[in-house]
Structure 1
């Protein structure tokens, strides 16, 4: 398993020189399932699309995919067809009504979650078809596997999603610990997102605990990116299969996602300023130094 993981990670690294332009790869990971990782991935993508970015969400939860389900999209083809060489990556890319594209995962196929060496190589080669995008957001599977570690190592930014639940915090630390031993920590950009926070105070306590432990016991730097409020609009959006940033752009979770993107892009965003405020700050000319 270690040799397989190393081979896939090397192949992911090889993607970078072949890209005509710099595609920013953001991997969204979690120590356990059920923390809202897919929801975060989709709404981050939509926020980026509002900044006129070409965004692709890759459902890399190979075996238990659900990005298309959350968005109410029924794909005709998915990654299973790519692995089986029935379709190319470009042929399965789906446009959506939200300004982003998705690559649907293959739910219910155990084989795709445990690829052989040659299958892994061919799969990664297919991923180069996404190099036209400005942003590729990889919604990884929960926990740690050779696939997850490979996607994480290939990413420019790794966003770790946790909730205030003790089990989520413990599992997130376990994920970070394995990452610190399997991946060159000097090359990783780890950022923490606290999901389903009841308050700013709660979110800060959770992030301080994780960041402090990672620093003290793993000598690893983890940055705090932000939080997303626990709000009924999120569950409503899931039931209606519409991203909450679309269902209610003025909601607290939507504001939080805009804050996350502004920090990732290093631009100003003030609560209540709206998307137009963010766009003005992002696009306004800068004085020459």
Structure 2
């Protein structure tokens, strides 16, 4: 296994150092979206962030990394013929499963029923990771993880440039948001990614700030960890309406409160707290280290 991992790392280094055509300033930026519990709107946030980036002229791929209950395609009303399962099983390449949508973004559907990457054989795992290099043409890769903390989630968190933790004002969601932050801080040795908080379904600015201050202050006090408040999304009735229609709310209600909030969050990501993407090669190396 170690020899295979070293070979893949060397392959990615050569890819990045030679003819990839990517400059230091145009490296792919990987954003992992995570949450402490299900039902906080993480997938909806991921998809609409992707749409906001696409509006800025970015090439965006949403990778559904929930290998148990994948639902990115469900929210978009898309029925993919192939997904990550076929890539893992070497039945299809990553290029063959990348799906264009009507909204200017691409998606890679998750492999429903695959509970743990750790259960894959060495060959399947290395093939899956090496296929990720095919995503390097994107400007932005948004990874929608499963809810909670699994080794899969930790792997995608550790390998990302930025990690967005989604919570809501519900007490259980706040507790679980702190819980996932705590586990990330204890399980990952070198936290060099930017960790940021998004408060979803907030009634108003005041409620969102109250929730964010609670999580951020507790993380600072007990974990000595800096969490940035990235922004919030209003509890907008247009959102559940869009979900029922299987449309992104930025499409069904582009000037609505929730849509404006998403655009503001992307503006902050790009302009206020910009982190240069370190590229797919770096992402794969970190992913390999976690999965070895």
Q: The TM-score by the shorter chain falls in which range?
A: 0.7 to 0.9
Alignment of 1:237-276 (within 5 A): 237-266=242-271
Change (3 A) 1:246 1:62: same
Deviations 1:23-69 (A, max 9, x none): 00000000011100000000000000011100000000011000000
Q: CA deviation at 1:108?
A: 3.3
Change (3 A) 1:164 1:57: same
Alignment of 1:207-246 (within 5 A): 207-246=212-251
Cα distance in 2 for partners of 1:112, 1:149 equals 12
Structure 1 window deviating more from structure 2 (242-251 vs 17-26): it is 17-26
- TM-score scaled to structure 2, two decimals? 0.84
Change (3 A) 1:16 1:64: farther
**Match of 2:228, SS?**
strand
Match of 2:277 in 1: none
Deviations 1:142-197 (A, max 9, x none): 11111111111111100000001111111111111111111135412100000000
The alignment status of 1:67 with 2:78, answered yes or no, reads no
The alignment status of 1:199 with 2:224, answered yes or no, reads no
CA contact (8 A) 2:200 2:232 kept: yes
Alignment of 1:1-289 (within 5 A): 18-19=15-16, 20=20, 21=22, 22-110=27-115, 114-266=119-271
Cα distance in 1 for partners of 2:120, 2:235 equals 37
CA contact (8 A) 1:64 1:107 kept: yes
CA contact (8 A) 1:83 1:112 kept: no
**Match of 1:167, SS?**
helix
Q: Give unmatched runs, 5+ long, in structure 1.
A: 269-289
CA contact (8 A) 1:63 1:112 kept: no
Cα RMSD (Å) of the superposition? 2.4
Q: Give unmatched runs, 5+ long, in structure 2.
A: 274-292
